Chains A and B, each alone.
Chain A
Amino acid sequence: MSGGFLSLEGVRKEFDGVVAVDTFDLEVEPGEFVSFLGPSGCGKTTTLRMVAGFEEPTAGTIRLAGKDVTNAKPNERNIGMVFQSYALFPNMTVSENIAFGLRIRKEDSAARQERVDELLALIHLPDKGKAYPNELSGGQQQRVALARALAIRPQLLLLDEPLSALDAKIRDELRAEIRRIQRQLNITTIYVTHDQEEALALSDRVVVMSKGLMEQVGEPFEIYNNPATGFVASFVGQLNRLPVSVIDGEKGLVRAGQTELRTTSLVESPAGTEVSLMMRPEELTLDASEENVLDGTVESVTFLGSIVRVQVGVSVGRLTADLFNERLLKLPEVGDTTQISFPAHACWVMV
């Protein structure tokens, strides 16, 4: 069954009878970058820790490169790990930190030095080898932690919220850096995060998790545009949810108040069922140019730089529209009556 380089089959973890992760199945291809995305307590870190060997699964199998490592000790797995808190050894210099794993593998000092220099160049900190961790910025420390994890030429790289402790600007830089290094080394990587933007920007595939269960596995584009569950839809990106009742499922017709709306996606519920019509804020326009049109009143306008977020109250609820900012854009004002519209292909029904 195990086609992947890393494979998790039916992995389950309980803490004192409380299920933290359940029926986790995943095949990761060599060189693939997979993110575990979810709110805190969803089991993403626990799953990562089971792969690392810090937690033992209650049930299930973990295979790495064809070998069953379910119960292997963490120091027998040859897995590189990067922690949120950097976890550099404060008593060692940057070079000593990077060389730590090589030292344990009893590599001779010339080979060690060569590898350290190679990695310092890779993380763009060639002259920081003699510095101590407390002399470096957070971003630099996390680069060193990455280099230390990579020094041992691990089969697998695990990153546990590595950017969460950093400033927004450094976070974006380091995010790009991580992706560059991962591509360059073509190393299989698992990345845990609660930040959907990070997960979408970095990953080949994203695993969205909630309450210990996998909600959806897919490419970022797919996760965002075709969320499989209500949780995924609302956790990844912003989402509008309009209460409607089904008129004709086959034709995709629903009714919101007195207004008839149409969706091109599948409606399985019989006529008369109360369902929700979902659509992304960026699909809405403040005019009648698209097929589905509603009348409403502007309730709030928030200027966010590249986009302008407008909330419009309609007869059955409230819709949020994200408009791209342009220099010629005329900002609507609170209290304006307006029409708001969206295409039939941009919305879908959820029960």
Chain B
Amino acid sequence: MTISTTPLPVEVEAPVAKPAAKRSRLWAWLIFIAGALYFLVPLGATFWWSLRAEAGVLGFEAYRRLFDDANFWPSFTESVVNAVAAILLSLIIIVPTAYWVTLKLPRLRPVVEFITLLPFVIPAVVLVFGLIRLYGRPPLLLTATYDSSRVLLICAYAALSFPYMFRSVDNGLRAMDVRTLTEAALSLGAGWPTVMRRVIFPNLRVALLSGALLTFAIVIGELTIALFMAQQTFGPYMANLTRSKVYEPSAMAIVAFALTWVAMGTIALVTRPGRRR
């Protein structure tokens, strides 16, 4: 009766499955903790170090010095303005493009998607040399003055934001049946500007915000391009600080982290599921 023994392994296997599940959950936790430590220990150490600017006491002296630094606020504001300008430029280019591609030229989507991905593929150093070579000579001598270089920098940042911006806008458009909504609005008598203003933009708000905040987080600390274009923005300021000071860079790193987290937290807040409008 050898055949009757075949069901047995199944019965043996069943009780084994439970401890296996438990063990895998244990592993999951271990990996999670290891990952969290990998991330948190340097951060904690940096924070700890930033508190030790005054000999013998733990305090926020490094932060005070940082915020008092004559170059901190100007470079920070300049970066914020650059970021906002880059976001606006990026929105003006990406939203109509994505809308039109979705509505009228869906076959071009892969092409547009690839183009918007290029900033991921091309290193910033290559990008900046390309820009300088192209725009640093007549007829478009954009690198001649500080302000014209700044315009070029903003354009470069807008390009850097394309991957994030296009993806969020595209997701937003896909989630809302653009074609039918547009047609419904048109049949009710709306013109194209009204369709954009009253139907497309309001329904894209969350997508636009997440794209904008990602762009902000990238632009605010960007170093390479700003450095090569001799711009006194936040990125070069931070790099310079690291070279010349001891405790302030750590304080700076913590501040930069906090900024990024605020941006990320805002995204999470506005995109959280179950939210209406």
Contacts and interface: CB of A to CB of B under 8 A. Distances in A.
A54 B183 contact: yes
Nearest to A88: B184
B228 to A, nearest CB: 43
A90 interface: yes
B177 A81 contact: no
Nearest to A100: B188
Given A91-B202, A132-B276, A78 B189 contact: yes
B277 A91 contact: yes
Contacts of A162: none
Nearest to A101: B188
Given A104-B194, A132-B276, A132-B277, A90 B176 contact: yes
Interface in B49-84: none
Given A104-B194, A132-B276, A87 B188 contact: no
B185 interface: yes
Contact of A74 (B186, B194, B199): B186
Contacts of A148: 184, 188
Interface residues of B, number: 20
B188 A152 contact: yes
Contacts of B4: none
Contacts of A88: 184
B190 interface: yes
A79 interface: yes
Contacts of A74: 183, 186-187
What class of interface size applies to chain A in its complex with B?
20 to 34
Interface in B188-221: 188-191, 194, 198-199, 202-203
B188 A104 contact: yes
Contacts of B259: none
Contacts of B194: 104
Contacts of B184: 81, 83, 87-89, 145, 148
A40 interface: no
Given A89-B199, A132-B277, A134-B276, A104 B181 contact: no
B180 interface: yes
A79 to B, nearest CB: 6
B276 A101 contact: no
A186 B194 CA distance: 31
A80 interface: yes
Contacts of B176: 90
A52 B185 CA distance: 12
A152 B189 contact: yes
A53 B188 CA distance: 12
A75 B277 contact: no
Nearest to A91: B202
A169 interface: no
B203 A80 contact: no
A105 interface: yes
Contacts of A105: 189
Contacts of A54: 183, 186
Given A87-B180, A87-B181, A104 B203 contact: no
A73 B185 CA distance: 12
Interface string A89-126: 11100000000110011000000000000000000000
Nearest to B195: A75
A83 B185 CA distance: 12
Contact of A104 (B177, B183, B190, B202): B190
Contacts of B188: 75, 80, 100-101, 104, 148-149, 152
Interface string B251-277: 000000000000000000000000011
B189 A81 contact: no
A64 to B, nearest CB: 13
A83 B186 contact: no
Contacts of A75: 186-191
B103 to A, nearest CB: 11
Nearest to B192: A75
Nearest to B175: A90
B181 A89 contact: yes
A81 to B, nearest CB: 4
Contacts of B203: 89-91
Interface string A143-172: 001001100100000000000000000000
Given A90-B203, A148-B188, A85 B183 contact: no
28 contacts: A52-B183, A53-B186, A74-B187, A75-B186, A75-B187, A75-B190, A75-B191, A81-B187, A83-B180, A83-B183, A85-B180, A87-B180, A87-B181, A87-B183, A89-B181, A89-B184, A89-B199, A90-B176, A90-B277, A91-B203, A100-B185, A100-B198, A101-B189, A101-B190, A104-B188, A104-B189, A104-B194, A145-B184
Identify the 5 closest CB pairs spanning chains A and B, nearest first: A101-B188, A87-B184, A91-B202, A81-B187, A87-B180
